[in-house]
Amino acid sequence: GAGVSQSPRYKVAKRGQDVALRCDPISGHVSLFWYQQALGQGPEFLTYFQNEAQLDKSGLPSDRFFAERPEGSVSTLKIQRTQQEDSAVYLCASSSPTSGRAVGDYNEQFFGPGTRLTVL
């Protein structure tokens, strides 16, 4: 695909419901990041993967949040028993090491359009 895609774009959930948000990264991108953006705030890191390995999940706000990337491509962010404070835009980004340079060299993160979650 041309860029990072996310689905659904909008999700309304009743408090207590479980939700699943999907991210399709750019094909071949090794790294995948999830961020949470509350209204009027900058994005805040949740978790990230390198291929299928979840290398850092320190930003997940509670054990109700769970992310996976089982085949090293598509990722799903799951929120169990949603609460009103979970209302936010959830952004996914992917990146890949710069070709021709050492693996691990930083390249830019390409962001998807986000999923706006509203918990009533």
Partner 1 sequence: AQSVTQPDIHITVSEGASLELRCNYSYGATPYLFWYVQSPGQGLQLLLKYFSGDTLVQGIKGFEAEFKRSQSSFNLRKPSVHWSDAAEYFCAVGASGNTPLVFGKGTRLSVIA
Binding to partner 1 by CB under 8 A, coded x per residue (else -) over 27-56, reads ---xx-x-x----xxxxxx--x-x-----x
What is the distance between the alpha carbons of residues 74 and 18, in angstroms, rounded to a whole number?
19
Widest CA span in the chain? 49
Binding to partner 1 by CB under 8 A, coded x per residue (else -) over 91-110, reads x-x-xxx------xxxxxxx
Judged on CB neighbours under 10 Å (0-12, 13-18, 19+), 103 is exposed
Q: Which residues bind partner 1 (CB under 8 A)?
A: 4, 30-31, 33, 35, 40-45, 48, 50, 56, 59, 91, 93, 95-97, 104-114
